[in-house]
Amino acid sequence: MRLIRSLARNVASEASERTLATDTGGQQSLHRSTVASYLDCLRRLFVVEELPAWTANLRSRARLRQSPKRLFTDPSLAVAALRANPSRLSADHALLGLLFEALVVRDLRIYAQALGGQLHHYRDSTGLEVDIIIERGDGEWIAVEVKLGASAAIDHAADALLKLRERVDTAVLGRPSNLVVVTASGYGYRRPDGVLVAPVTALGP
């Protein structure tokens, strides 16, 4: 349970096994090998899933980070592990944002797998991050940023998506089929820069 609570505190992050072991706290923190064993068990029980890093060909000299993100198969498990309630979630905007990201990953993973697609995340040595890369077996790909919805946050997300498009070698990977910012509410529209903004309620086959 201490490990599950640690996973909940670090949901949708690249926390290492060493970080998780330390985060269990107290004088009897879990050993790193024990954490690895427990994580393997949680994966086999479909409690936890990993979002692997995207392997992309880059034009820039940036180096790709390879650490996976760890998420619960159902984000409500993280909420239950933290004993969070609506008032606490409303007060902790950062945690709520990570849980919303986990929710969107869960939904998009289901839709993508039905079409033979896989989900990844992107992060490089310059600090550029993109929450989700959807890649199909034929090589087509979509980049997705997840934001709760403020206009400034959407602008920041769109900027990250456009930077990613310029950074990858599209001569090898091809241009993205779409650049998408998923929000918690509102309506869908396409920005002048070509980035699509879509509420989570619009997702689906």
Q: Which tens digit of pLDDT belongs to each residue from 119-133?
A: 999 999 999 999 999
Pairing relation of β-strands 141-146 and 129-136?
A: antiparallel
CA distances from 157 to 8, 78, 109, 123 (A): 24, 25, 20, 14
**149 token code pair:** 């919805």
pLDDT at residue 143 tops 90: yes
pLDDT over 90 for what percent of the chain? 73
Q: Which amino acid is at 172?
A: V
Q: Please report the pLDDT score of residue 102 as a whole number.
A: 95
Average pLDDT, the chain: 92
Q: What is the pLDDT of residues 3-13, one digit of tens each?
A: 999 999 999 98
Contacts of 24 (CB under 8 A, 6+ apart): 2, 3, 6, 30, 35
Long-range contact pairs involving 89-94 (C-beta distance under 8 Å, separation at least 24): 93/148
Q: Please report the pLDDT score of residue 26 as a whole number.
A: 62
Confidence of residue 39 (pLDDT cuts 50, 70, 90): very high
Confirm if 102 and 72 have CB atoms less than 8 A apart.
yes
pTM value is: 0.91
Residue where the block lists tokens 């993508």: 112
Confidence of residue 205 (pLDDT cuts 50, 70, 90): low
Confirm if 10 and 95 have CB atoms less than 8 A apart.
no
Per-residue pLDDT, averaged over 49-65, amounts to 90
CA distance 161 to 186: 20
Higher pLDDT, 150 or 137: 137
CA distance 19 to 9: 11
Give the helix/strand (H/E) hosting 107.
helix 93-114
Order of strands, sheet of 189-190, starting from the edge strand that comes earlier in the sequence: 117-123, 129-136, 141-146, 178-183, 196-199, 189-190
Per-residue pLDDT, averaged over 25-53, amounts to 90
Q: Please report the pLDDT score of residue 27 as a whole number.
A: 64
